[in-house]
Structure 1
Amino acid sequence: MTDPETDPDAHAESDPREQSLFEAPPMAEQERMVEAILFATADPVSLRDLTGRMPHGCEPATALAALRRRYEGRGVNVVRIGESWAIRTAPDLGFLMRHEVVETRKLSRAAIETLAIVAYHQPVTRAEIEEIRGVGVSRGTIDQLLELDWIRFGRRRMSPGRPVTFVVTEAFLDHFGLENPRDLPGLKELRAAGLLDNRPMPGEATDDDEGDGGQGDMFEG
C-alpha cells in the first residue's frame, strides 16, 4: 500500500484537490452570486459586504461591472447608490410605481423644504436651515425625516457649541435613483415625484425672475 506521508507521487496528486478549495468560481458564476445577493436584498449592498459573502478569491467589483452591462436596457438595472449597489426599476419605468411612492412618502411643506435644504447644502446645521427658510424648524420635522431615514446626523462643526450637522442618507439617494448627492434632482423632479406642491419654495426663482427657474437661489452656495 502506498504511504501518502512518504510517497511523493501520492502527495503531488493530493495538491490539486487541496488547491481547488481556494480557487475562486468562474466569473460567470460570480455574476450569478452578485445577482442573487442584490435581488434578495432590499437595501443597497456595499462592495465590502459582497466580498464578505462570496467565496475566497472572488472579484465582486468585476462581476458587478459585467452584471451592470448585462442589465442595461432591461426593466431593472444594477445601479450604484452612494458606496453601495442595488437592483432597481429602470428610471423611465418609474411612473409605474409612482402611486405607491406618493402615498408612502408624502411630506409636509415644512419637511420637504427642510429636506431640500439639507440635500443641497449638506452638511448643514439646524440654525443654517432656519436661516435659509426664514422660520424656525420644529423638532417634529427633523424627527420625521430622521425616522424616514432620509437624513442623518453628520459631523459636528468645529465652531462654538459644536452644533451637529445633517446630511442625506443612502435611502434618500436610493429613492431618487442617484449615485451621489451631486446628481440631486431639481424642483421639477421633486414636484413630479409628488413630494412638493406648485407653490414657490423660499428663495426660488419665479417666472418673472432672471435665470432658468431651475433649482433656485436656495440651492446655490
Structure 2
Amino acid sequence: MSVAKAHRPPDPSPVPSEAARLAEALIFCAPAPITEADLAARLGAGTDVPAVLAEIARAYAPRGITLARSAGGYAFRTAPDLAPALRGGAPEPRRLSRAALETLAIVAYHQPVTRAEIEEIRGVTTSKGSLDLLLETGWVRLRGRRRTPGRPVTYGTTPAFLDHFDLDAVSDLPGLDELKGLGLIEGRLPAGFRVPQPSDGAEADEDPSDDPPGPGGGVPD
C-alpha cells in the first residue's frame, strides 16, 4: 500500500543578513534618499554595499514597497503597479502657476541659468514671486554666481526636485522623443530645435554660491 506524500510547505524567505537589516533600517529612517557612500560609512569597512542593496531589492521585489534609486541614492517607494489603487488617498498638493511651472522647466533644462536668461527664454519678465515659490518648495536652489559684470545669481534644481519627480539625476529628464511621446511637444518644430542637456556640475564661469540653500532664502535683488 502506497503512502501519500505529505504536503510540503513553501520554503520560508531567507533570513536577511545583519548588514541588510541595518541598511534596511537606515533607508527606512532616512529623511531623503540615502547614498551608497552614506551606507558604507554606517555598515562598516569591507561591506559589499551593492550586494546588500541587491539583497534588499530582491526581498522587496514582490511586495507593495520596493527599493528604488532616486536623487542619486536609495529609498523605499510604493510598487509602480499599485499606483492606480492609491490615487485619491493623499491630500491635493499645492498647484504651481503656469509661470512657476515654466520657470521650473527652464531651470531644470538650462541650469545653471540666471534670471535674465530665464526671462529671455520665456519672452516675458519673471516675477520674483515665481522664483521665491520654487525656492520655498525646495525644488530650486541658488547654485552660484557668474563671473560676469554684476555677478548674477545662477539657479539649479535640488535633490528634493529629483526625489519628487522620481529622477536619479538631471540627465534622466525626458528628452525630445519622450516629450513628444507624452504629448508635451506637438506640431512641426523649427529646424535645429533641440532639448538642452542639463548639468548639475559647476560651469567654468560660475563660482559656488555662499548664499544659504533651501526654503526661505529668497531671490536676491
Bin for the TM-score computed over the shorter chain: 0.5 to 0.7
The one of 164, 168, 174 equivalent to 2:157 is 168
Q: Per the alignment, in what secondary structure is the counterpart of residue 141 of structure 2?
A: strand
C-alpha distance after superposition, 1:7-60 (max 9, x if no partner): xxxxxxxxxxxxxxxxxxx98211111111112233211223323333454343
Matched, 1:206 2:196: no
Q: What residue is the counterpart of 2:104 in the other structure?
A: 115
Q: RCO (CA 8 Å, sep 6+): is it higher in 1 or 2? A: 2
156-165 vs 90-99, which moves further: 90-99
Distance 1:182 1:99, change over 3 A: farther
The one of 17, 24, 36 equivalent to 1:28 is 17
Structure 2 gaps of 5+ residues are: 1-14, 198-221
Distance 1:101 1:111, change over 3 A: farther
The one of 105, 113, 119 equivalent to 1:124 is 113
Q: Take 1:52 and 1:42, find their aligned partners in 2: how far apart are those partners?
A: 17
Fraction of identical pairs, as percent: 49
Structure 1 residue 91 displacement after superposition: 3.0
Q: Take 2:134 and 2:163, find their aligned partners in 1: how far apart are those partners?
A: 15
Aligned residues: 178
Contact 1:111–1:142 (CA under 8 A) maintained in structure 2: yes
Structure 1 residue 92 displacement after superposition: 3.5
Matched, 1:71 2:60: yes
Q: Take 2:20 and 2:115, find their aligned partners in 1: how far apart are those partners?
A: 44
- Of Structure 1 and Structure 2, the greater helix share is in 1
The one of 43, 54, 57 equivalent to 1:54 is 43
The one of 87, 90, 93 equivalent to 2:76 is 87
Distance 1:88 1:205, change over 3 A: closer
Q: Per the alignment, in what secondary structure is the counterpart of residue 45 of structure 1?
A: coil
C-alpha distance after superposition, 1:185-217 (max 9, x if no partner): 479x99xxxxxxx9xxxxx7434x259xxxxx5
Contact 1:27–1:63 (CA under 8 A) maintained in structure 2: no
Q: Take 2:87 and 2:158, find their aligned partners in 1: how far apart are those partners?
A: 21
C-alpha distance after superposition, 1:128-179 (max 9, x if no partner): 1111111111111111111111111113223222322111111111112111
**Match for 1:71: what amino acid?**
Y
Structure 1 gaps of 5+ residues are: 1-25, 191-197, 199-203, 212-216
Q: Per the alignment, in what secondary structure is the counterpart of residue 136 of structure 1?
A: coil
Q: Take 2:74 and 2:34, find their aligned partners in 1: how far apart are those partners?
A: 5
Contact 1:149–1:169 (CA under 8 A) maintained in structure 2: yes
Q: What is the Cα-based RMSD across aligned positions, in Å?
A: 3.3
Contact 1:132–1:218 (CA under 8 A) maintained in structure 2: no
Q: Take 2:144 and 2:74, find their aligned partners in 1: how far apart are those partners?
A: 25
Q: Per the alignment, in what secondary structure is the counterpart of residue 67 of structure 2?
A: strand
**Match for 2:70: what amino acid?**
I
